[in-house]
Amino acid sequence: MPARDGRILFDLAAAVEAGRPVVLATVVETRRSAPRHSGTKMLVFADGTTSGTIGGGEMEARVIAEAGEALLEKRPRLLEYALVDPERGDPGICGGEVDIYLEPYMPRHTVYVVGCGHVGRAVVDLAHWLGYRTVAIDDRPEMVTPEALPNADERLVGTLADLDEPVVEDASIVLVTRNTELDVAVLPDALATPARYIGAMGSNTRWRSVCKRLIEAGVAAADLERVHSPVGIEMNAETLEEIAVSILAEIIQVNRAITAAVASP
């Protein structure tokens, strides 16, 4: 393996480890004259910066733009370019053809579970099984131990405000707290994030009470419309595991709706 390709794979591994979205662009086939050989790789990050090159020029510029679309759709794509006649729209005049495969690597969707009682533990366990990154948060130290939450990727004693990482859009916040006081304290911090999904456990009566107190405290009613409460899809769930299924089903539903909207022409 050429040293430069080894470096690109090292950079890819580092990006994945850091949770940084990136696309691996690989020249999979060339015919006749082309700027780079099959197997040549380049990384394209979400901000348009790159590592490596697949030949430069107009073709590479188009690949970078296509990589941005692949990140939005979270889907791979195969690009085919003829490098013959720029006047007809070709991105080059080498005389050959190039096929380039774009493979997006996305960070895992993070589920922040605030409140790690019985329901919270079930949500963490199911989210972990589904392949999500899980962050368990509770103000009671005994609730966020490795023994109590073996499937949590990270555990935090405190509240959402105590996180040492920014909550990004590709994340869900699930409030399964033990009382309305905690909901009222935590929800403003949740609403201050761009998290795609925010859900709060409780009855309709409890949610109306929380909303009333938050609005009196200055939270905009329109912001509260972001919150799914009662949390989870309606499926007459009774057991802890069934409740966790209803919550994760709603998270999946919201995530897939966004993905479908981005992918639609």
| pLDDT (0 to 100) of residue 89 | 46
- Would you say residue 19 has pLDDT above 90? no
CA 102 to chain centre: 18
Q: In residues, how long is the chain?
A: 265
Chosen domain end from 70, 105, 140: 105
What are phi and psi for residue 258, nearest 5 degrees? -65, -45
Q: What is the CATH number of the domain that holds 180?
A: 3.40.50.720
153-184 in b/e form (b: 16+ CB < 10 A) is: bbbbeebbeebeeebeebbbbbbbbbeeebbb
CA distance 244 to 229: 14
Residue 44's closest CA among 58, 24, 61, 28? 24
How confident is the model over 76-101, as a mean pLDDT? 70
**Do residues 185 and 231 share a domain?**
yes
Confidence of residue 22 (pLDDT cuts 50, 70, 90): very high
Q: Are 124 and 183 within one domain?
A: yes
Q: Are residues 188 and 116 in the same domain?
A: yes
Q: Tell me the mean pLDDT in the region 75-84.
A: 83
Predicted local confidence at residue 35, as pLDDT: 65
Cross-strand pairs, 78: 101
What pLDDT is attached to residue 55?
A: 80
pLDDT the model gives residue 73: 86
d(CA 204, CA 181): 16
Which pLDDT score, from 0 to 100, does residue 92 have?
A: 53
Domain final residue, candidates 105, 128, 161: 105
The domain tally of the chain equals 2
Does one domain contain both 119 and 66? Answer: no
Residues 116 and 225 in one domain: yes
Residue 153 and residue 37 share a domain: no
Omega cis (within 30) before 104: no
Going by pLDDT thresholds of 50, 70 and 90, the confidence category of residue 77 is very high
Q: Are residues 92 and 115 in the same domain?
A: no
Domain with 39, as residue range(s), is 3-105
In angstroms, rounded to a whole number, what is the distance separating the alpha carbons of residues 251 and 167?
A: 16
Residue 56, pLDDT above cutoff 70: yes
Does 175 share its domain with 88? Answer: no
- Are 90 and 161 in a shared domain? no
The structure tokens listed for 254 are 């919201």
- The model's pLDDT over 165-215, given as tens digits with 9 standing for 90+, comes to 899 899 999 999 999 999 999 999 999 999 999 999 999 999 999 999 999
More confident site: 224 or 81: 224
Q: What is residue 204's predicted lDDT score, i.e. its pLDDT?
A: 93
Residues 89 and 188 in one domain: no
Across residues 63-82, what is the average pLDDT? 90
Backbone angles phi, psi at 179, to 5 degrees: -160, 170
Band of pLDDT at residue 90, cut at 50, 70 and 90:
very low
- Whether 133 and 255 map to the same domain: the answer is yes
User: Is the domain of 122 the same as that of 90?
Assistant: no
pTM for the model: 0.78
Domain boundary among 105, 136, 171: 105
For 10, residues 6+ apart whose C-beta sits below 8 A from its C-beta are none
